[in-house]
Structures are given as C-alpha cells and as structure tokens.
Structure 1
Amino acid sequence: MSDKPKILVTQKVPDAAYPILESFGIVEANEEEGVIWSYDELLHRAPGHDYLFCLLTDTIDARFLETCAAANPRLKMIANMAVGFNNIDVATATRLGIAVSNTPGVLTDTTADLAFGLLLATARRIPESERFLRAGRFTGWGPLLFCGAEVYGATLGIIGAGRIGQAMARRASGFNMRVLYHNRSRLSAEEEQRYNLTFVSFEELLKESDFISLHCPYTQETHHLIGEREFALMKPEAILINTARGAIIDEKALVRALQTGQIASAGLDVFENEPAIEPELLQMEHVVLAPHIGSASLKTRSLMATTAANNLLAFQKGEVPPNILNPDVLDQQ
C-alpha cells in the first residue's frame, strides 16, 4: 500500500492543479464539470483523506471537520480555491489542528475588471438594449433610446479598500471619476494619493456616490451591511455593484429599493442565497445579473488552482504554506 497522502478534490478544477497534487499524493477527484457534491456526499467521501482541496460552494462546518479529524488518516489541511473562506469554520479547524489556506491576490485584477464591466453595463444599459435589438424591436436611432447614466466624471464609492477595491479605483481613474472609500481602517496618505481615494464616513459615501461598489469581506459584521436604511440614504439615480458576497446586501430590501425607485439599478455577480436568485430580480430589465464569474478568466482560475495546490505541497514538505490562514496550527504538527 502506498504511503503517499490521500487528497480529495471536491470539484472539477483547471488541469494545472493536478500534476502538482499528483507529485506528492494520491488524488481522488470529482471529475464531472459543473457537478457539486452535496454536503452529505462530501461528508461521506472526505474522511480518510489527509488533504482537502475545496471551493466556496463546499460547506466545511464543525461537524464536517470533527468527522474528518477523527478518521484514519486524519485531515491535516484544507486548501480553499478562493480568496474568501466564509464556507470554512476556521476556528474549529484551528482547534482541531487542521491548517486552512486560501488564494488571495491572484484574482484581484480579474474581479476588478468584472466589477467595472458591471458598472459600465448597468450604467449604459448594454444588456437591456441588446435584448431589445435581438427581439427585433430596433427600428432606428432615437434621441431618448436607452439613455443611461454618465460614467465619466461621476462619483464612485468603494466599500472595502483592499486589493480589489484599490484595483477598482485604478480603473475609475481612467474615467476621471471622483472616488470615495470607506474601510474598517483608513489607508495611509501615500495609498490614498496613489489611488486618488478620499476617505469618508459610511453614511457620506452612501449619500454622495453615483455608483457604489462592494469589495469588503463577508463577516458577521458585514451581513446585510446594505439594507433598507442604507438604500434610503442613496441617491435615486445611484447604481449598486456587488462582486464581493451576496449576503452583504439584504436582497429583499434591494428588490424593494429597485421597485420603488429608491435607487436606479444594480449590477450583481453574487447573490444572498446563491444559486437561488430573488425572482423579482430576474424580471427587472434594468438590473444586470452574472453567475458569479468575477474571477472567471482561464488565466486567473488556473492560477487559483495552482496556488491552492502549492499551499498543500508546501505543507507536505514541512514548509509554511504561503497563504495559510491559521499559522498557529503549525506548532501543533
């Protein structure tokens, strides 16, 4: 019997990850593209593996971790192929001595591209006008046909000025936008100058922004960060962009705000109860919806996959994984 560690890959991932994993372990993988194992099936398969390569759609909770920690062999490390890790109970993993890693940095520009693309598409009503044309309803140019919002020179409010928020600000500079931001902690004066950012209170950002783009992590504190009170503070012409996490927005409150004209529109790549979408959003022509494709370029997804695999390889070699989230567990090994 091989003494190589056993690795479980929960979903079909880019090919670049597999040679790295196979160089040090025996890989069992979900080979069906687009198929996500249920929680029960994953819990049935995972015990007895040394390593778990998972994604945001996999729920790795306390029950799951305790079951895997009690198995033979026990679970040593989880590599999450995502920058976010709210799908994993990191506190329980740490208590059980299980290392956890993510893949930050590699998806920054790709996600910012998508966020700014949603901003442009929503402001200029591009998907709506394309559907109009494809339906054979275009009979000629008209002075009021699909007039949208001006982007050049408008005010962009960024909530969460980390890597992706800063990348969004860089893109806004090409459109001569005034860029406000709110963050848990204020950036240095040098960073503010570099990205042409102006720090304001949360309420001021909501009141003054023509476009509001969410780039904060999803935590207990940011759950429903944007709800009825916040929509009431926004301009009626405001457009909300979300490429962060769906539950940062109270989606039912968003529906009401759009229905009543409290805000003008929204561009969403993530949803509160994903993959379920509020039915009213699907019926709104002026809302732009994307199926969680923020990091979906071939280059970026391959980099995410190899980064996750290399985190596991580093652990196996006795090194500190570059993106470990709970380094204290290394003292327990």
Structure 2
Amino acid sequence: MSKVYLSAKLPEIATEKLIDAGFEVAVYNGNDLISHATLLENVADSDFLITPLSTKVDREIIDAAPNLKLIANFGAGFNNIDTDYAKEQGIVVTNTPKVSTNAVAEVTIGLILALSHRIVEGDKKMRREGFPGWAPLYFLGHEIAGKTLGIVGLGNIGSDVARKANALGMHVQYYKRTPLSDPEERSMKVTYAPLDTLIATSDFITINAPQTDENYHQFSTEAFEAMKSTAAIINVGRGPIIDEKALLNALTKDKIAGAALDVYENEPDVNDGFKLLKNVILTPHIGNATVEARDAMAKIVADNVILVDQGNSAKFIVNP
C-alpha cells in the first residue's frame, strides 16, 4: 500500500479520494505550520508528499524520502520546492493552477474597492468611535469607474482581473514580458504599456504575477517615486516583488496614496509600520481562500497522486 503524507490539513475531498483509492494517508494535524524537523521525520517512508506552498521542501527533505515519486504542491506557486533537485532525483512536482483564478481576481477587485472607498478605515472608525452623522464632505473616497488600472502580470489571474475591471468601467493597461497580439488586446479591452509607463500613468497598480528572479523588488524606491501621488498599489502576487521598506517609506511620506497587501516579503511576518497606517489594508494571504477554490485544489493534488501511482502522467507538472 502506497503512503501519502499531507504536511497540512486539507479539505476532506482530498483525504476521502485517497483513502477510497486504497492509499495509506497520514496528515499533519497541527494548527501551526509544520516544522522542518517534523516534515523530515514523516516524509521518510512516504511515496507521495502533498504540501502547501507555505512549506519549504528542500534538498534535505527530498534526500530523506528515497521512495518519493511526487510532490504535489497545494497552490499555484512552487517557489517553496527545489524543483530542479527533485527532477534530478526523478521526482515529479506539480501545482494547482487555474482553479483559484476567480477567487484571487475577486480579492484583487475587492481590495481596489476597499481602498478607494476607505471601507476598512470606515469600519475601524465605527467600531472605535462612531461618526457624527452624514455630511456632504465627510469621509470622502473615490470612485473607480473611469480610473486607469495597471496590471502587472497578465496570466490567468491578471486576465480575469482585467475582465472584472472592465465591467466596472475602468481603463485597463497591462505589462508582461510577451505582449498580447492586437486582436487579443481588442478582445480583452486592454492596452499594453511598458512597465515604466504603466507605473507613471496608473491610478491603481495590481501585482498579479508569479515570483521570478527578474522581478525581485521590481517595485522599489524608484518605482514609488514614479507613481502618481494619488495612486495605490495592490499586491496579491508574491511578496518579494515589492521592496516593503521602500513602500513603507513612500506611504509615510505621502509619495503614494495607499496600498493593499495580501502577500508579504517575509511572510508570514508583517512589517509593523504598515499596521500604523490608515491608508493600508493588510489581509492574511486569502487570495484563493474560498471553499470553492480550495476544494478544487484538493481534488487536483489527490488526482495527481492517483495518476502517478497508476503509472500515468500527472497534470500540471512544473519540472518536466
């Protein structure tokens, strides 16, 4: 009987599918993130590892599991896994793309709306002190219709953000390494802009890109200096794309108007300086934290274990 180790609790659909398929399933049931030492101990005799993107799977972990055939990452990202070394050892690594697209795009739009209408700030104010009553100039925000949204990273998620933003009356421009064709741009109602142009002309900038070596600290002091003073930045991509010290400096000196962060440079740690600012929204990496998305992700990882165990090719391989 093949053994599957889950280094975090997953939606029940995953364990049910695996048990029904005849696997021995062991699960880390702690409420905190699994430690490296605990993972090292439990993966040793496992044939399959299912792990969330918050757990590092390095050479030491891989070397400790001589029977390992598959590392199924529960998440679209896979920077937490040494994919090259896994390939050297004949271990397939997969992720769970696409199924979280709508959830993350909705959160992106939600953060734009929350920033522009000061929703989180207003909620805190009501809980803390209430308000004196409706007045014509009290607690004004801004409408997003007619504003320019700059999307950095127009993959599945960025494309869905563009569709949703268009429906809300925004003008959408984007930056990616390989621009779309003219027909694709017309179909999606988006316009390509070089990164420096996008930064300088957008009212809102959303980061919907995966982390790469090239985009580490892509948004640093220079980028924030170039943004409109009335603009805001939203990061639902990967934390290290933003130099958080530079962002905090830009916010405290009113170089830009606001920020919303769902991912962090040193996650799960959050710079305490952000917590003191009214024009910053902080959420705990909830981009795809919906029942629908997580159930779909759970189905993918379980199905991939079954496929590989049966001698078939897994879906969504990231180290071919």
Q: What is the CA-CA distance between 1:145 and the residue it aligns to?
A: 1.9
1:17 has 2:10 as partner:
no
Mapped to 2, the partners of 1:221 and 1:67 lie a distance apart of 32
Q: What is the CA-CA distance between 1:189 and the residue it aligns to?
A: 2.2
1:251 has 2:244 as partner:
yes
- Give the match's secondary structure for 2:274: helix
1:151 counterpart (130, 144, 149): 144
Q: Amino acid of the residue matched to residue 84 of structure 2?
A: A
1:63 has 2:60 as partner:
yes
Deviates more, 1:92-101 or 1:15-24: 15-24
Q: What is the CA-CA distance between 1:24 and the residue it aligns to?
A: 3.4
TM-score normalized by the length of structure 1: 0.94
User: Gaps spanning 5+ residues in structure 2: where?
Assistant: none
Mapped to 1, the partners of 2:304 and 2:181 lie a distance apart of 31
Matches within 5 A, 1:281-300: 281-300=274-293
Mapped to 2, the partners of 1:60 and 1:145 lie a distance apart of 51
Mapped to 2, the partners of 1:96 and 1:194 lie a distance apart of 44
Q: Deviations over 1:51-93 (max 9, x none)?
A: 0000011101122212223xxxx21110001000000111111
Mapped to 2, the partners of 1:267 and 1:144 lie a distance apart of 25
Q: Deviations over 1:228-284 (max 9, x none)?
A: 111111000111011111111111111001001111000111111111100000111
- Aligned partner of 2:219 in structure 1 is 226
Q: Amino acid of the residue matched to residue 90 of structure 2?
A: G
Mapped to 2, the partners of 1:62 and 1:188 lie a distance apart of 41
Mapped to 2, the partners of 1:193 and 1:10 lie a distance apart of 44
Q: Deviations over 1:40-60 (max 9, x none)?
A: 221122111000000011101
Mapped to 2, the partners of 1:61 and 1:215 lie a distance apart of 26
Mapped to 1, the partners of 2:118 and 2:187 lie a distance apart of 31
Q: Deviations over 1:265-324 (max 9, x none)?
A: 001111111111000001111111111100011111111111111111111111111111
User: Gaps spanning 5+ residues in structure 1: where?
Assistant: 328-333
Q: Amino acid of the residue matched to residue 26 of structure 2?
A: E
1:88 has 2:86 as partner:
no
Q: What is the CA-CA distance between 1:179 and the residue it aligns to?
A: 0.5
- Aligned partner of 1:41 in structure 2 is 38
Q: What is the CA-CA distance between 1:225 and the residue it aligns to?
A: 1.1
The percentage of counterpart residues that share the same residue type is 39
2:273 counterpart (269, 274, 280): 280
- Aligned partner of 1:177 in structure 2 is 170
2:96 counterpart (73, 93, 103): 103
Q: Is the 8 A contact 1:24 1:313 kept in 2?
A: no
- Give the match's secondary structure for 2:65: helix
Q: Is the 8 A contact 1:311 1:324 kept in 2?
A: no
Q: Deviations over 1:116-138 (max 9, x none)?
A: 00010011100101111122330
- Aligned partner of 2:302 in structure 1 is 309
Mapped to 2, the partners of 1:194 and 1:101 lie a distance apart of 31
Q: What is the CA-CA distance between 1:14 and the residue it aligns to?
A: 0.5
Q: Amino acid of the residue matched to residue 37 of structure 2?
A: D
Q: Is the 8 A contact 1:208 1:234 kept in 2?
A: yes
Deviates more, 1:115-124 or 1:141-150: 141-150
- Aligned partner of 2:191 in structure 1 is 198
- Aligned partner of 1:124 in structure 2 is 117
TM-score normalized by the length of structure 2: 0.97
Mapped to 1, the partners of 2:245 and 2:291 lie a distance apart of 33
Deviates more, 1:103-112 or 1:136-145: 136-145
Q: What is the CA-CA distance between 1:149 and the residue it aligns to?
A: 2.6
Mapped to 1, the partners of 2:243 and 2:216 lie a distance apart of 8
- Give the match's secondary structure for 2:317: coil
Q: What is the CA-CA distance between 1:139 and the residue it aligns to?
A: 1.2
Mapped to 1, the partners of 2:79 and 2:139 lie a distance apart of 39
Mapped to 2, the partners of 1:111 and 1:304 lie a distance apart of 13
1:31 has 2:29 as partner:
yes
- Give the match's secondary structure for 1:267: strand
Q: CA RMSD in A?
A: 1.1
Aligned residues: 319
- Give the match's secondary structure for 2:25: strand
Q: What is the CA-CA distance between 1:142 and the residue it aligns to?
A: 2.2
Q: Amino acid of the residue matched to residue 25 of structure 2?
A: V
